[in-house]
A and B are shown apart, each in its own frame.
Chain A
Amino acid sequence: MWVALSYACWGISIVLALWMLYDWFKVDTTFSEEVLTSSREGELEATSEKHRI
């Protein structure tokens, strides 16, 4: 069982690493560098959420 778990760990690691690389490529080719690096310190993110009670 432990050996099978060990192989499963390798498999999960490879799949998730590939997914992250794919997503990274997709994001970097979809959005401009200006947008991706537009975050500024101290900037409040109040506009992204609207709470309705």
Chain B
Amino acid sequence: MTIAVEPAVQGDRVSLLRVLGPAHVWALGVGIVLVGEFTGWNFSADKGGALAALIVCWVVGLLYTSVAMIDSEVTSTVAAAGGQYAQAKHIVGPLMAFNVALFLVFAYTMLEVSDAILLGDTIVAKAGVEGLTHNSFIAATIVVLAWLNYRGVLMTLNVNFVITAIAYISIVILFFSVSPWTQGAVLKLNELVTPGNALPYGWIGVIAAFQFGIWYYLGIEGTTQAAEEVRSPARSLPYGTMAGMITLLIAAAMTWYVCASMMPWEYLGITYYPLWDAGKLTGSPLLENLLFVATLLAALASANGCINDAARAWFSLGRDRYLPTWFSAVHPKYRTPYRSILFLLPIALAFAFIADLNQAITFSILSGVLQYTFMSINIIMFRKKWPLGSIRRGYTHPFHPIPAIVLFCLCVVTFFAIFLGFGSQLIAMVAFYFLISLWFHFYRYKFVRRGDQFTMPWPKPQGY
């Protein structure tokens, strides 16, 4: 098969390029998330013990399975760059859409910042050289990945597929290297997790652990940002997203089993590198180095996907005039939202140099959970306004409205858990979104061409 690509500018129009398939969607979603297995999820052990980390692995897994199912249905119907932003615009309204786009940009930019800091810190920890700082590695991570994103989405996600697959395979190799079918040789789960220390803080510790349990899967919903660049959105998006979620559930379970069987919960809850440490504890230099490289690759894949997603959300805001249209420019050769990529680049660099890892990831998680709360309400409204059979859906998720209710309830629990650990940041973030909403409603919305923003050829919603 040969593919002939004609010049990018067709007449007077230039658009994003439809070149992606389900594997790229998988690479985008899993690439963003997988870093959470290499660091982050283990802090839930500090909050509630090793068993709490396992409980939240499954319960938060349920939350994200609901997210993936709901997202797959709505995005296979509203296939546009901006993902949840475009969904909110068509289903709830402009103010909600503006907020959702900001949730997306904050969640992905702060996650990108966290990834870059993690990568820099990991290299510095490995080097052990006096005076060596992480700044140069952070700068290179953000700038090189921004350049890759600038040059085209196909190469960006091809790279993400390869490095995500290597990082994932490293977890599988570690799992089978420690004889998971035998306890006592390398793994000592029955000694490290006992009835006496499994839940050291009781059930309130399990609730508190939700805050970090999010890290197992944070970002899988990012697959929807590729909606305008996949060849067949109705097929590729549900397929890539659900395959990604299955992949992550397996990775999360393997990661917990290996780490909880090799490290006491007191150490597991505070280390920044649970999988790399597990590699070291096997005594094999090969595994140690493999897990070190995999940690770096997972951080790179995550930052790469985050740049892709944040830029598309920002680009979509410009295209609908929610922000100046200047941001909606598409590169005529590379077919990427190049101005949005360049605009967000110095912001990410600034946060990476001044913020610490905990602050950055807390802002990312907060924005993510706000977005998931919206999704639970969004799907209820979507099914009510456009019931099954009224419009064509690429995928219809089962058991409605149970996933939406489960998602909403788990979001409430997660907000409570975040409030326990980062109450002031939660209040500051909500206040920020409230003030920016006032600005949008009273000032910015007058610039929006109200009829132009609704692009889906749907019938009138029921009740209107």
CB B340 to nearest CB in A, in angstroms, measures 12
Most-contacted residue by chain A among B9, B136, B332, B333 (CB, 10 A): B136
Of B6, B16, B139, which contacts A50 at CB under 8 A? B6
Most-contacted residue by chain A among B6, B9, B14, B325 (CB, 10 A): B14
A29 within 8 A of partner (CB)? no
B137 within 8 A of partner (CB)? yes
Q: Are A42 and B331 in contact (CB under 8 A)?
A: no
Identity of the chain A residue whose Cβ is nearest the Cβ of B10 in the assembled complex: A47
Residues 134-158 of chain B, each 1 if its beta carbon lies under 8 Å from chain A, else 0 = 0011011001101100100000000
Q: Is the interface of A mostly helix, strand, loop or mixed?
A: helix
Q: Which of B1-27 contact A (CB under 8 A)?
A: 1-6, 8-10, 12-19
Of A9, A35, A36, A40, which contacts B136 at CB under 8 A? A9
B163 within 8 A of partner (CB)? no
Q: Which of B77-136 contact A (CB under 8 A)?
A: 79-82, 86, 123, 127, 129, 132-133, 136
Q: Are B319 and A48 in contact (CB under 8 A)?
A: no
CB A23 to nearest CB in B, in angstroms, measures 8
Q: Are A9 and B1 in contact (CB under 8 A)?
A: no
**Chain A residues with CB under 8 A of B320:** 41
Q: Are A37 and B329 in contact (CB under 8 A)?
A: yes
Question: Known pairs A24-B342, A36-B14, A47-B10. 12 more at Cβ < 8 A?
Answer: A10-B139, A13-B144, A16-B147, A17-B143, A35-B9, A37-B325, A38-B12, A39-B13, A42-B456, A44-B18, A48-B6, A48-B17
Tell me whether A6 and B137 are in contact in the complex, defined as CB-CB below 8 angstroms, given that A43-B15, A48-B5 are known contacts: yes
Q: Are A52 and B4 in contact (CB under 8 A)?
A: yes
Q: Which of A6-47 contact B (CB under 8 A)?
A: 6-7, 9-10, 12-13, 16-17, 19-21, 23-24, 27, 31, 33-47
Q: Are B129 and A3 in contact (CB under 8 A)?
A: yes
**Chain A residues with CB under 8 A of B311:** none
Of B1, B16, B143, which contacts A51 at CB under 8 A? B1
CB B321 to nearest CB in A, in angstroms, measures 10
Q: How many B residues face the partner with a CB closer than 8 A?
A: 56
CA distance A18 to B382 in the complex (A): 45
Of B123, B318, B319, which contacts A40 at CB under 8 A? B319
* A and B contact pairs by CB, cutoff 8 A, 27 listed: A2-B132, A3-B129, A6-B133, A9-B136, A12-B143, A13-B136, A17-B345, A20-B342, A21-B342, A23-B150, A35-B13, A35-B14, A36-B14, A38-B15, A39-B16, A40-B13, A40-B15, A40-B455, A41-B316, A42-B455, A43-B13, A45-B18, A47-B6, A48-B5, A48-B17, A49-B18, A51-B3
Most-contacted residue by chain A among B5, B81, B318, B332 (CB, 10 A): B332
Q: Are B330 and A6 in contact (CB under 8 A)?
A: no
Tell me whether A20 and B150 are in contact in the complex, defined as CB-CB below 8 angstroms, given that A6-B132, A38-B13 are known contacts: yes
CA distance A42 to B320 in the complex (A): 12
Of A6, A20, A27, which contacts B332 at CB under 8 A? A27
B328 within 8 A of partner (CB)? yes
Q: Are B319 and A6 in contact (CB under 8 A)?
A: no
CB B77 to nearest CB in A, in angstroms, measures 11
**Chain B residues with CB under 8 A of A38:** 12-15, 330
**Chain A residues with CB under 8 A of B325:** 37
B326 within 8 A of partner (CB)? yes
CB B452 to nearest CB in A, in angstroms, measures 8
CA distance A5 to B126 in the complex (A): 13
CA distance A42 to B147 in the complex (A): 26
**Chain B residues with CB under 8 A of A41:** 80-82, 86, 228, 316, 319-320, 453, 455
Identity of the chain B residue whose Cβ is nearest the Cβ of A28 in the assembled complex: B329
